[in-house]
Each structure stands twice: as C-alpha cells, then as structure tokens.
Amino acid sequence: MKAGVIKNTKCLCPQCLEIVDAEVIERDGKIWLKKYCQKDGTSESLHLTSKPNIYHALAQIHRDRSAIPEGLILKLTTRCNQNCHYCFTSANEKDVFDYDQAKIFESAENFKGDVIYFSGGEPTLRSDLFAIIRKIKKCGFKTILFTNGKKLSDPNYVAGLKKAGIDAVILQFDSLEEADYIKIRGEALLDDKIKAINNLNAYSIYLMLYVNIIEEINTDKIKELFDFALKKNNVRILFFNPLWNIGRQASYGRLNSAAMLDMVCEALRVKEEYFIDCARLSTYIFEILRKLRLKRGIKEPPCSVSCYFLRHANGYLSLDYFIDLKKIVLYLKAIEQRIDLKKSRLFNILRLIFSRDLFLFLAGIFNRRIFRVCLHNLLFNLRNPSRFQGLYFMFFNVLSVMVGQFPDKHTLDLSLTKTCNMHTALGAKGSLPTCLYEIYRDAGKLEQYLTQ
C-alpha cells in the first residue's frame, strides 16, 4: 500500500453508483476516501468518520463479522402528515401508498435479529398500526416507532400504543423554539412535540429524541436540548445528527459528523476521548450479553459514537466520575474474548464466574462513590415521586448522547456495512443496510438493484 493508505476498501462511485475499488487515506489530520471508477474516473471525499482518533478507535471494535443486524426497519407507508423541507425520504412525492400488510409480516418473520422499527413516511397514518405492532410482538421482537409525534399529542393514541405493546419511540425533535420548526419543518410543531413527550412519559414509554442539526438554524441549541432531555425521565437517548445528504434539499459537505462532534463536546464540556471510551464500553458490554445468549448479532452502529450521563438529583454526572473507564474497558475486552460461541451458555457463564477479569470488573464498578451516588438518587427520587418508573430509575438513570451521520454516496465506506446494526426490509429479497437502501432509493435505482 502507498504511504498514507490505511486500507483498501469498496465504495460507491458518486456519479454512477457502481461499486468501485477505493482506498482509505489519512492525510492532513483527516480520513479520506479515494475512489477509482473506470467510467467516471478518480474522485476523493471525506470518510464518514473523518476524525482519525474516532476512525481508529471504531476500527478496533467494529470488526468485520458480517453478522446479523440487531434491527430491521419495516416501511409502512410513503404518506406523511408533514411536508418537511429536508425530508430524506421525500415523503408524499411520486408514488404515495401503504405497504402490503402480508409482505410486512413476511419480512419480520424471516428476520433473525431482535428489534423491529416501524417507519414511513409517517407510520402513525396507518389505521392498522396497533394491529401490526401486536402481531410483531407475538413473534418475540422488541418494537420501536419512528414518528414526528403529531398523533402522539393525543393521550388516547399513546394509550393505544402502550396497549399494543410498543417498547420505545424515536421522536423527531429539533428544537425548543417554534421559529426553528417553521424553518426546518415548515410549520409550528413545538406544542405537539411537548404533548407527545409528556404523554409518553405518563405511560412509561422509553423515548429517543432525534435532533437534526442544521447550520444557521439550531446549532446553538445543543446544550438547551441536553438540559431538557435530562429532566424528562423516560428520555433514554438524545441523538444529534447532521442532515442526511439525500432527499429534499440535500446538503453535502456543509455539516458533517466531525464538526457535529466538536459542537457537542464544546456544548456539554466533555472531551472527544470520553466518547471513544464510552463507545468501547458499550460495544463490549453488548457483545458479551449477545454472546451469552449464543447470538451472532450487531448492536452498536459503526456510524455514530455515544457517551453517557447519569441523572443525579437535578443535575448529571459523567461515568468517569465514579469509574476508571479505560480499566473497565480492558476487563470487558478480556471477558468478551473468553466467551466461546461453540460452547454452551452454562459453560461460558461458569467460565466467567471463576475468571479474574470478572472479579476485577466488578471491583472497578462497585465502589464507594457509586454507592453514594445511587443512595443520593434514591433519596431524591423518594422526595420526587413523579420520577419513579421502576427500581432502575430510582438508583441509576442514564441518558445516552449520540452523535452520528448517515453515510451518503460520497462518504460511504462499504466495509462499514458489514458491521451495520440496522437494515431495511426488502420483502422476499431480504434486507439491505439502511444507508444503502436509502441511497439507491433516492437515486431511483432500488428496483435496478433488486433485479440484479
């Protein structure tokens, strides 16, 4: 390999979308993709993960396992009750229809992962949504709904979701200012968003707030959104994401995940290294749990990083306040490597129980400081009963902050799709990593792909 070349890979030619040979290059403090297309020539663009520290850290933990993704997106409709300026699916354009229910169930029944996501358009426009959720739940899946939240402003609708068995909701939530929604979504939506969040909290439905950050509109709202999420006990994840460079008003190169991460670190006063340590922590924890279930699957996405904050009274603490993350990660890595998928679950559990690494891990996380924090949280929550949503929340309620960027035809390194944790259903054709699905769909080449 030439100097500066990290590895050879495959990419999409940004002109013809054919799969071409490419190189991952580190140069000038950034990670680049250099693509070689016989038809359209050589081109360069930033890698999806253009920060070298982040790229190298993720490369060590997101191994090429070609494993089963954890989640499958089921598209329910192309209809939407909004007409957002920046819609990546271009909802309400061209063919507007609901997907066939029988094909929806066929896709779910053939999926080997754990989680089914319902998407659109706006999936709550399906009159049979509750029936779909109930049937998917009977198949043993965890169910998560993508939504703009308009219909969730009705408490009776949220009650119906809860009764049907929905496990969590991913809510489009860009700002706490109405003027921003008018610029981004084309209409006033804040009141409906707040009602939806409160209704979901009343029914103890876990929530991810999904924030599209757009230059010159809401880049200054990061800390405000973080403070808001901390106060909402059922918000488990706050996800900051630049616009996806597909669909309406695509914006390639204007704001990427590297710039996004810098803004989040500055707003929350954490270092980039904290995201890296937390990414390693969560990856090994989920890998251990999945291996003990004798499953070959992928939980952590290769296109984002997360860090964690413990809700503490009216404030928060980072995890490195009470544990040495770097040491804990080393113990977890050693534990994960001891699990042998060729052996039984009982064998692996017994092997871990008597391992030195497990003892060191437990000694590292159960210390005086964490016990003091948990006791303080318990006393605080007893004085504030509205915060009660189970024993976990009484002692140890964590908010995850994610920063990511969905790859487009310029930034996608196809080697990442082998560790993708989320696919989109193709009916009888199986599934595709969601980024590839949307890139092909946006370019009008999905049918061409399916007939290959």
Show Cβ contacts of residue 366 under 8 Å, excluding neighbours closer than 6 positions: none
pLDDT at 385 over 70: no
pLDDT at 400 over 80: yes
What does the pLDDT read at residue 151?
A: 97
Are 242 and 308 part of one and the same domain? no
In a domain? residue 296: yes
User: What is the average per-residue pLDDT within 378-385?
Assistant: 69
Closest CA to 291 of 350, 357, 348: 348
* Domain end position, chosen among 210, 232, 255: 255
What does the pLDDT read at residue 444?
A: 85
Asked if 68 and 289 touch (Cβ cutoff 8 Å), the reply is no
What does the pLDDT read at residue 450?
A: 67
Are 240 and 322 part of one and the same domain? no
User: pLDDT by residue (tens digit) across 153-203?
Assistant: 999 999 999 999 999 999 999 999 999 999 999 999 999 999 999 999 999
pLDDT at 64 over 60: no
Are 251 and 324 part of one and the same domain? no
User: What is the average per-residue pLDDT within 293-316?
Assistant: 80
User: pLDDT by residue (tens digit) across 5-24?
Assistant: 999 999 999 999 999 999 99
pLDDT at 371 over 70: yes
What does the pLDDT read at residue 295?
A: 66
User: What is the average per-residue pLDDT within 228-237?
Assistant: 91
Are 131 and 85 part of one and the same domain? yes
Asked if 144 and 150 touch (Cβ cutoff 8 Å), the reply is no
* Domain end position, chosen among 232, 255, 278: 255
In a domain? residue 36: no
Asked if 317 and 309 touch (Cβ cutoff 8 Å), the reply is yes
What does the pLDDT read at residue 25?
A: 96
pLDDT at 358 over 80: yes
Asked if 275 and 307 touch (Cβ cutoff 8 Å), the reply is yes
Q: Write down the residue that tokens 């950034």 correspond to.
A: 30
Are 233 and 328 part of one and the same domain? no
Burial 405-434 (b: 16+ CB within 10 A, else e): bbbbbbbbbbbbbebbbbbbbbbeeebbbb
**Higher local confidence (pLDDT), 7 or 86:** 7
What does the pLDDT read at residue 177?
A: 96
In the chain, the number of structural domains is 2
In a domain? residue 448: no
User: What is the average per-residue pLDDT within 429-445?
Assistant: 89
pLDDT at 218 over 80: yes
In a domain? residue 386: yes
Are 94 and 229 part of one and the same domain? yes
Are 80 and 127 part of one and the same domain? yes
Are 99 and 170 part of one and the same domain? yes
DSSP H or E stretch at residue 142: strand 142-147
Show Cβ contacts of residue 54 under 8 Å, excluding neighbours closer than 6 positions: 258, 261, 272, 275, 276, 305
What does the pLDDT read at residue 46?
A: 93
Are 251 and 306 part of one and the same domain? no
What does the pLDDT read at residue 85?
A: 80
Asked if 240 and 213 touch (Cβ cutoff 8 Å), the reply is yes
* pLDDT level of residue 262 (50, 70, 90 thresholds): very high
**91-to-63, 88, 99, 154, 235 alpha-carbon distances in Å:** 35, 8, 14, 23, 27
Sheet of strand 422-425, all strands in order from the earlier edge strand to the far edge: 315-318, 304-312, 398-404, 235-242, 206-213, 168-172, 142-147, 115-119, 71-75, 422-425, 431-433
In a domain? residue 37: no
In a domain? residue 419: no
Are 87 and 180 part of one and the same domain? yes
CATH of the domain at 218: 3.20.20.70
Instruction: Return the bridge partners of 142, or none.
Output: 115
**2-to-6, 8, 23, 124, 256 alpha-carbon distances in Å:** 9, 10, 10, 52, 27
Are 98 and 191 part of one and the same domain? yes
Asked if 31 and 24 touch (Cβ cutoff 8 Å), the reply is yes
Residue 91 has a CB neighbour count (10 Å cut-off) of 21
Instruction: Report helix, strand and coil shares of the chain as percent, to nearest 5.
Output: 45, 25, 35
Are 78 and 210 part of one and the same domain? yes
pLDDT, the chain, mean: 88
In a domain? residue 434: no
What does the pLDDT read at residue 122?
A: 95
In a domain? residue 368: yes
Tokens of 369: 């400081």
Percent of the chain whose predicted confidence (pLDDT) is above 70: 91
User: pLDDT by residue (tens digit) across 320-336?
Assistant: 988 999 999 999 999 98
What does the pLDDT read at residue 253?
A: 60
* Domain end position, chosen among 399, 420, 445: 399
* pLDDT level of residue 291 (50, 70, 90 thresholds): confident
User: pLDDT by residue (tens digit) across 124-135?
Assistant: 999 999 999 999
Q: Residue 331's domain spans which residues? A: 291-399
Q: What phi and psi, each to the nearest 5 degrees, are found at residue 407?
A: -70, 145
User: What is the average per-residue pLDDT within 302-321?
Assistant: 88
